[in-house]
């Protein structure tokens, strides 16, 4: 009888778990935009328009982008960025996985503009580092639009680009479906 009870409670918990995940809403984009620029040199800037991101209404957020997808104004800089500084063939991707810290202040079912703080792990150039970034989450016609800026120090990710810059400011903008 005890096994029966255990079995039943297991089934019930599985059903509940499935129901819970079903209730969760996930928004996604494959074409989010990430810009970065070096504050010390206006020519050092690049854009990536193929950022895959998912945002769930439980506050979980992921971003993935391909280093070779960064487009620079100058082809030679793009080459240096990939071959010397970020070693993009060895580390083709950058990933972020985090959560919205102040989720309580966001209402996904109500249009509006919400200030959010996101905390999580950024992995780039083979190094993972915990970061916190502040930004905005707008709900427009039920769909989230996010924008956020933060600074990345080259030494935090073991990127030796000292001849160019020691930090870049990163700008993220995503429109989710």
Partner 1 sequence: MKKWIKIALIVGAIVLIAGSITVFWLFNKPHRDVTKEQGVQLSAQKLYDAFRTNEAQANKQYLDKAIEMTGEVAEVITNQDGNIVVNFKTNDPLFVINCTFKTNPGQLKPGQLITFKGICTGYIPDANVVINEGVLVK
**Residue from 37, 56, 60, 66 that binds partner 1 (CB under 8 A)?**
66
d(CA 145, CA 140): 7
**Residue from 31, 107, 151, 162 that binds partner 1 (CB under 8 A)?**
31
CB nearer to partner 1: pick between 93 and 117: 93
Listed ranges 49-57, 110-118, 121-129, 164-172: which one lies at the site for partner 1 (CB under 8 A): 49-57
Find all residues with CB under 8 Å of 77, minimum gap 6, and list them: 43, 44, 46
**Residue from 37, 58, 64, 169 that binds partner 1 (CB under 8 A)?**
64
Q: Shortest distance, CB of residue 57 to partner 1, whole angstroms?
A: 19
Handedness of CA 67, 88, 44, 127 (dihedral sign): positive
d(CA 112, CA 109): 9
For residue 21, the SS3 value is helix
Name the residues that contact partner 1, by CB under 8 A.
30-31, 33, 47, 49-50, 52, 64-69, 71, 74-79, 89, 92-93, 173, 175
């Amino acid at each position: 009888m005890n096994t029966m009870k255990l079995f039943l409670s297991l089934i019930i918990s599985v059903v509940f778990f499935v129901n819970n995940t079903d209730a969760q809403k996930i928004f996604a984009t494959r074409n989010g935009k990430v810009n970065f620029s070096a504050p010390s040199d206006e020519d050092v800037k690049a854009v990536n328009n193929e950022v895959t991101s998912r945002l769930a209404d439980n506050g979980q957020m992921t971003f993935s982008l391909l280093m070779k997808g960064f487009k620079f104004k100058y082809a030679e800089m793009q080459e240096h960025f990939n071959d010397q500084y970020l070693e993009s063939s060895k580390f083709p991707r950058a990933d972020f996985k985090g959560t919205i810290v102040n989720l309580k202040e966001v209402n996904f079912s109500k249009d509006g503009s919400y200030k959010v703080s996101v905390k999580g792990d950024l992995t780039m150039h083979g190094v993972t580092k915990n970061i916190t970034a502040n930004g905005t989450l707008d709900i427009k016609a039920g769909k989230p639009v996010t924008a956020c800026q933060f600074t990345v120090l080259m030494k935090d990710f073991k990127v030796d680009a000292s001849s160019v810059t020691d930090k870049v400011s990163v700008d993220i903008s995503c429109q989710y479906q």
